[in-house]
Amino acid sequence: MHLIIDATTTQDQLAYAGVGQYTKNIVSHLIKLHPDIDISLLLFADRKSTLKDIIYKHKNVKIVNLGKYQINDFKNDLWYYTKVLPKIKEIKKENSIYFCPYFWRNLPVNTLPTILFVHDMNLAMFNMYSQKSIFHNLIRKIQYWMTMDKSLKTEHIICNSETTKQDYLRYYPKYPEQSITVSYLGVDLEEKEVSLDDVLPKDYKERGYIIYMGGGINKTKNSKGVILGYIEFLKLLGKEKNQCPYLVISGGKFENEQLKEVEELHNIVREHNLEDLVLFTGFYEDEQKYSLLKNAFAFIHLSHYEGFGFAPIEALRAKIPAILHKNPVYEELFSEVGLMVDGDNHREVGEKILDVYSNSEKYESRVEKGYELSKKYTWDKVAERTYEVFEKVSKTK
């Protein structure tokens, strides 16, 4: 078996998003568990990959040079047909299978057997293909469906949840359901605490904080709802500002106020004079993630739609209560361990934050149950389940 894998999402703007993290982990764990497998990784020549410390140690992993970096955008198809597809045809063998962790870089379904990973149907469900302008949204919409329609010609599809599988089948009911595998994802979070002195205020331990991490700037993430729910919590708490716990919002994406969605969040904070309470940490080091979660009195994530849920599982691994919006996949995965709320009901969110803040012992058993659940999500399991799909397709092609 020869695998050709598009690993460019470990280099582009998605490298530290869910898509990029999936690509990094699935490739690295496939190599770890099956070191003899013949793999060709498609990568840019002039861009660092999050796989750099892994792939060069294995003799059976070949790096295929795609030339200069191409941002993941509306020019994907031009770049694919002029650079990528010719390279795929050049390296293809009789036993080759193409694995695509992210469809929008395009699929060589007419060239060799293809396996596609579908993360979610978020863009289609919310008509949200681009947030730059109406024109960009229309162009990207056309490209989206032209590429996604190719999924009907794939040999197999892997989805990260039953929710994603059913959402996909809503749009493509003719795709054979027996050729879809559900593979929940893994958690890669070392349970080791480090200093947060360069990230949080000196009094964070005395004041406490609730953390929002792993969100995004598009409207389905409902980042605005997190802040408005926190504001309701402050009203119910009724303390002086200098005695209130913080809301910590972690991630570099929340710093760029040139994006209107980010500007809106900062404007809400300014309008309510909460600059001293709502803390935007910006980028943080990977090794700081566990400590940021562990030291919070709660985690909050009110996304309207997800394909899986990396951030909530990481919060469960850090043994803190997770306040989650009752979206379909969170109900599927976390209904017995998460604190489920209507993320659009800001009063309800505020009341739940207050209850967790005031009665932490009430949630100890649920937190422990969540921790045990989090340990079931491992990348080794994901890699083995994925490898089984490769073997199945290899035997039937």
Would 122 be classed as within a structural domain?
yes
* CA–CA distance, 308 with 311 (Å, rounded to integer): 9
> Does a structural domain hold residue 128?
yes
- Find the mean pLDDT for residues 197-212: 94
pLDDT tens per residue across span 46-101: 999 999 877 777 788 999 999 999 988 888 899 999 999 999 999 999 999 999 99
**Residues 125 and 211 occupy one common structural domain:** no
Task: Give the span between the Cα atoms of 349 and 232, in whole angstroms.
Answer: 8
Report the distance separating Cα 259 and Cα 253, nearest Å. 9
As to burial, measured by CB atoms within 10 angstroms (0-12 exposed, 13-18 middle, 19+ buried), residue 190 is exposed
Kindly give the interhelix angle for 18-33 and 379-396, rounded to the nearest 10 degrees.
70
* 196 part of a folded domain: no
**Which backbone phi and psi does 71 adopt, to 5 degrees?**
-60, 150
Q: What is the DSSP string of 273-325?
A: T-TTTEEEEES--GGGHHHHHHTSSEEEE--S--SS-HHHHHHHHTT--EEEE
Domain count within the chain: 2
Is 197 a member of any domain?
A: no
> Are 354 and 366 in the same domain?
yes
Model pTM score: 0.91
Query: How many angstroms separate the Cα of 54 from the Cα of each of 14, 25, 51, 137, 312?
Result: 19, 10, 5, 37, 27
DSSP letters, 8-48, are GGGTSTTTTSHHHHHHHHHHHHHHHH-TTSEEEEEE-SSS-
**316 and 351 fall within a common domain:** yes
What sign has the CA pseudo-torsion 224, 271, 348, 234? positive
Q: 3-class DSSP state for residue 272?
A: coil
| Tens-place pLDDT, residues 303-362 | 999 999 899 999 999 999 999 999 999 999 999 999 999 999 999 999 999 999 999 999
Select from 116, 130, 108 the least CA-distant residue to 168: 116
| pLDDT above 90 for 3 | yes
- Asked if the structure places residue 199 within a domain, the reply is no
242 and 348 assigned to the same domain: yes
Structural domain harbouring 360: 204-374
User: Are 209 and 239 within 8 A, CB to CB?
Assistant: no
Domain match, 121 and 228 both: no
Give the per-residue pLDDT at 215.
63
Structure tokens belonging to residue 243: 């005695």
229 & 370 share domain: yes
Distance of CA 197 to CAs 206, 210, 275, 294, Å? Answer: 14, 17, 19, 15
Is residue 374 a contact partner of residue 187, using CB atoms and an 8 Å limit? yes
List the one residue out of 206, 215, 243, 247 whose CA is nearest residue 230. 247
Predicted local distance difference test score (pLDDT) of residue 133: 84
Q: What is the CATH number of the domain that holds 356?
A: 3.40.50.2000
Both 222 and 340 in one domain: the answer is yes
Is 90 exceeded by the pLDDT of residue 396? no
* Average of per-residue pLDDT values in the chain: 93
List, for residues 105-139, the tens digit of each pLDDT value: 999 999 999 999 999 999 999 888 887 788 988 99
Tally of residues, the chain: 397
